Amino acid sequence: TDFSELSICDAIIICVPTPLDEFLKPDMSYIVSACEMIGKYLSKNSFICLESTTYPTTTENLIVPLIEEKSGLISGKDFWVAYSPERVDPGNEIYNTKNTPKVIGAIDDMGIRIAENLYKKAIDEIHTVSSPRSAEMVKILENTYRLINISLINELALLSGKMGIDIWEVIEAAKTKPFGFQAFYPGPGIGGHCIPLDPFYLEFIAKKYDFDLSLIHTAGHINMRMPHYMYIKIATALNSISKSVRESKILIIGVSYKPDINDTRESTSLKIIKTLTHKGAIINYHDPYVDSITINKDEKLYSSTLSKKILSQSDLVVICTNHKVIDYKIIDKEAKLIVDLRNASKRKNNIFKL
């Protein structure tokens, strides 16, 4: 918290948030604030690397001019700048920071040399690219690739549901093809701090180049609509037992954005809960990784114990996040009605699947 300490640092790594604002435009205020403070205290011969997810050209067109202005120093002469995208998969038991290759793009050869020598102290493999904007595009490509494919399978899952086709069976069959197919799985929507946001960073910069990213735009908006489709599925399930959403007791299983972690950023579960509470449902949730959540600004909910009592008292159980540690057998046995958005339940009757 004491930015004056930057004056004695040889290397400075920027890892601040880059959210979207209310108009789905990149909020660069955290990066700007960090760079202003860096410029104020920067010493000669320092190295700066941005790791925050952002749109291509940020390092060259925003960071460098800002730091030069605030410090009075010159990039490539007095300090060196690079971009290296964060690559993190929370909950992954195989790949961690050390054994995940690190992509780096710098403005000049000296920047690359410094970056390589810094990061190879902690990371096994370094892969360099020709510029910061190429490295920035790497991050966008990785996450947009996943967004488009998950949005595709989500849209096909919705259609399959209308046609009486089990999309999970279809995916398992398609996986038997030994080439040309990679399995992606449907769910209530994509959460986390990267994949739902990255397409909008790219869309923002593409407009400056008078380029329309129609495919990426569509994928982003399919993902944004998924919580609404999930609400309709929940309402349809309740209608099957002659109940409305209002005053129905609904137990949500899992509120983190992906299995086996405690991160709720951009979690689809929270969006579904907010819609259900707005429509008058009585909500409980169970998540062994998340003790409490805040809905409607100041209203808090606390994780309930998964028990025969709460399951039998609930009109509907909705499986939103399929943590491995959850006892699905007791859910299958005791729940009156299930909406399974993750293919976690083995029950054959009184169940609605995505």
DSSP state, 102? Answer: E
DSSP state, 97? Answer: T
Closest CA to 290 of 255, 238, 338, 324: 255
- 194 catalytic, yes or no? yes
Structure tokens at 253: 């299983």
HSE, side-chain direction, 13 A CA sphere, residue 71: 26
Contact (CB, 8 A) for 188 and 341: yes
Contact (CB, 8 A) for 143 and 195: yes
Q: Which of 35, 49, 194, 320 is catalytic?
A: 194
Contact (CB, 8 A) for 54 and 18: yes
User: Using N-to-C axis directions, what is the helix angle for 167-174 and 132-163, rounded to 10°?
Assistant: 130
∠ CA 351-352-354, rounded to 5°: 140
| Residue type (1 letter), 224 | M
206 vs 3: CA distance, rounded Å: 34
127 vs 345: CA distance, rounded Å: 42
Structure tokens at 84: 């290296």
15 vs 245: CA distance, rounded Å: 42
> Which residues carry out catalysis?
194
